[in-house]
Amino acid sequence: MDFILEGLRQAFLLLFSGNAETYSAVAATLAVSSYAMAVSLAVGIPSGFALGHLRFAGRRQVRLVVDTLMSLPTVFIGLIVYAFVSRQGPLGHMGLLFTLEGIAIGLTILALPVVISLSASAVESTDANLRTTLLSLGAGKPQLMLGTLWETRHAILAGALAAYGRVMTEVGIAMIVGGNIKWHTRTITTAIALETNKGQFAMGIALGLVLLLIAFVVNGSVSFLRKR
């Protein structure tokens, strides 16, 4: 029990004493998660929207595949990405192993199905009367899509936050692809894993609290934006 209180104390210390190692891990976490989220949202929202909005042959099968991919174990993604970016792998020449870029690719694979699936669900679950209403007010095809997208913004945002949560807390991919290299690819979660391995439980808890604080800031700003 002691190390929980000790962890709380250390969390403050780490943040306010400007602990360079901690800030390096925070920066790495923010970099990879922002990159993964930017790509996942840019690709995932339009595809998810298309999947939920359009009716085409094989739609249900695609949906099933995407939903299944939501359950991809992160360690498995890590292994697959490792297999590709290892110097022996097909993408080995790009030198992505043990880089933040490599982690970001893995995290994108993790987040993309979540964004696509939840966006598709959000669009599918819109009121059938929304389409009638938009059309009856004179919306053309692009306006119908934009209007639907805007009406489902809250649900899509919730999906994006769910994906962000997975990405931020991910440890398997970051460990296998990133290698937990100090000052370079050590993220908050891999640092927690390391501190736990070293038996420094208080330090692990402190880092966990730092991660929680970041998540709080992100969710807080989204909730603020939503109000407006």
Partner 1 sequence: MTLYRLDHIVHRYDKRPALSPALSIDRWSVAEGAITGLCGPNGSGKSTLLKLLGFIERPSQGEIYLQGRKADMGMRRVRDHVTLLPQESYLLKRNVYKNVAYGLRLRKDRSDEARRVHQALDLVGLAPDRFAPRPWYALSGGEARRVALAARLVLKPKVLLLDEPTTSVDAASAQQMKAAALHAHRQWGSSLIISSHDVQWLQDVCHDIVYVFNGRILGQGQRTLLFGPWQRMEGNRVGRRLAEDQIFVAGNPPVEIDNAVAAIDPAHLSLYSSDKDIPGGNMALKGLLTRLALENATGRIHLAVAVGHTEFTASLTAETLATENYRPGKEIWIAYRPEDVTWY
Partner 2 sequence: MKTLFSIVKRHLLWVLMLAWLCGPAWAAEPQQLLMATTTSTDNTGLLDYLAPHFTKATGIDIRWTATGTGKALALGQNCDVDVLLVHAPAAEKKYVEAGYGQNRREIMYNDFVFIGPTADPAGVKGKSVAQALEAIKAKKAAFISRGDNSGTHKMELQLWQLANLPKPEKESWYVSTGQGMLTSINVAAEKSGYILTDRGTYIKYAYDKGGQPPMVVLVEGDDVLRNQYSVIEVSPKNCANAKADLARKFSDWMADSQAQKLIGDFKLLGQPLFIPNAK
Q: Binds 139, which of partner 2, partner 1, none (CB < 5 to 8 A, cut-off by type)?
A: partner 1
Measured from the CB atom, is 12 or 183 closer to partner 2? 183
Residue 39 within binding range of partner 2, rule CB under 8 A: yes
Sequence-ordered alpha helix ranges (H) in the chain: 2-16, 20-53, 59-69, 74-85, 100-124, 128-136, 141-151, 153-169, 172-178, 188-197, 201-227
Q: Of the listed pieces 7-15, 57-65, 95-103, 162-170, which binds partner 2 according to CB under 8 A?
A: 95-103
Whose CA is closest to 105, among 189, 173, 183? 173
Going from the C-alpha of 91 to that of each of 43, 87, 103, 153, 196, the distances in angstroms are 22, 7, 14, 37, 33
Q: Which residue has the tokens 């292994």?
A: 79
Residue 55 within binding range of partner 1, rule CB under 8 A: no
The correct pick among 43, 79, 91, 139 for binding partner 1 (CB under 8 A) is: 139
The correct pick among 41, 105, 167, 205 for binding partner 2 (CB under 8 A) is: 41
Restricting to residues 196-225, which ones interact with partner 2 according to CB under 8 A?
Answer: 196-200
Give dist(CA 218, CA 159) in Å, integer.
14
The correct pick among 67, 75, 98, 131 for binding partner 2 (CB under 8 A) is: 98
Measured from the CB atom, is 49 or 113 closer to partner 2? 49
Residue 5 within binding range of partner 2, rule CB under 8 A: no
Q: Binds 129, which of partner 1, partner 2, none (CB < 5 to 8 A, cut-off by type)?
A: partner 1
Whose CA is closest to 49, among 109, 113, 110, 116? 116
CA 23 to chain centre: 20
Q: What are the residues whose beta carbons fall under 8 Å from the beta carbon of 134, sequence distance 6 or more?
A: 143, 144, 147, 148
Restricting to residues 142-181, which ones interact with partner 1 according to CB under 8 A?
Answer: 143, 147, 150-151, 153-154
Provide the binding-site residues for partner 2, judged by CB under 8 A: 31, 34-35, 38-39, 41-42, 46, 86-89, 92, 95, 97-101, 142, 145-146, 179-184, 194, 196-200
